[in-house]
Amino acid sequence: MSKCIGCGITLQNTDQSKLGYTKDLKNKYCERCFKTIHYNEERKITNFDNSKIIDKINKLGLFTIMLTDILHLDKETIEVFKSIKNKKVLVINKCDLIPDNLKLEHLAENIQNSYSIDSEVLFISAKNKYYLNNLISLIEDAKDVIFCGETSSGKSTLINTLISSNLTTSHYDNTTLDFIKLKYLDYVIYDTPGIVLNKKRITDGKLNVKIINLNPNFVYQIEDLKLQGTGSITVYINDSIVISSKKKDIELSHEYVLNGQDIELANGFIYASKNVQIKSDKELNIRNSIIKKVV
């Protein structure tokens, strides 16, 4: 049976309420992809099983390229990466958002050390075509590869850029619905459904950097996190998120002393310089800083 060239779902013309519907089985796209491409319409998909996606990736046993970006790099993302048993590389997309004073080679080394990963870490920008040659070299060496990553991480956009394919791309979650096998020259490239993680991610927008000198008399709201304390923090966060503060009116129960470490957020992270004392309303995910070597 034919599959949609945009999302990989098997085409069917019997039930308009189900995925893969098209009026004519000779069409290249399902109705969902057609409306996404031409009318920017969204149809939410909620029944994805991450374990099945990872299992299939591992069974294929091919060199695997996992995409994320600097704002969505956290313990949950790395757990997915570590569950992939194939030879693999972690690719940080949207590197054009990273400030110039953060050197990519230092970031790569710090990411490896912070999360105890042996695999190579590369930085690219699929949108602006930065540093794609390094990735192309890996694909040429491996021949057959799998692209995976969190939903809306840019997998399909990157593949389209690399081989001029026709995968459906959008800013909506779960655009790709099934494994899509593409042939290009003597290479085989698989696109995969996006991994759905538990945190609420914002995929559009730019990186905003804000330095805050904490005042113990104020509570700072960053995403859904409340903080108070003393010392200087630098917040690297999606620019659509508003950071607010107000006079201290609550007691926060979790206490930390940070020395050059990061606090993970759903859409960014906080760098805490030396001897930063922090109280928070919830348990924090803290890592060795990925930005500690700056010039």
Banded pLDDT at 42 (limits 50, 70, 90): low
> Which domains does the chain possess?
1-43 (no CATH), 47-191 (3.40.50.300), 207-287 (no CATH)
Percent with pLDDT over 70 in the chain: 92
DSSP code string of 98-142: S-TTS-HHHHHHHHHHHHT--SEEEE-BTTTTBSHHHHHHHHHHH
Residue 231 has pLDDT above 90, yes or no: yes
**pLDDT tens digits for 107-143?**
999 999 999 999 999 999 988 889 999 888 998 899 8
**pLDDT tens digits for 172-220?**
444 555 788 888 778 888 888 888 877 778 878 889 999 999 999 999 9
Residue in 234, 173, 233 with CA at minimum distance from that of residue 207? 234
Average pLDDT over residues 270-279: 94
**pLDDT for position 50:** 81
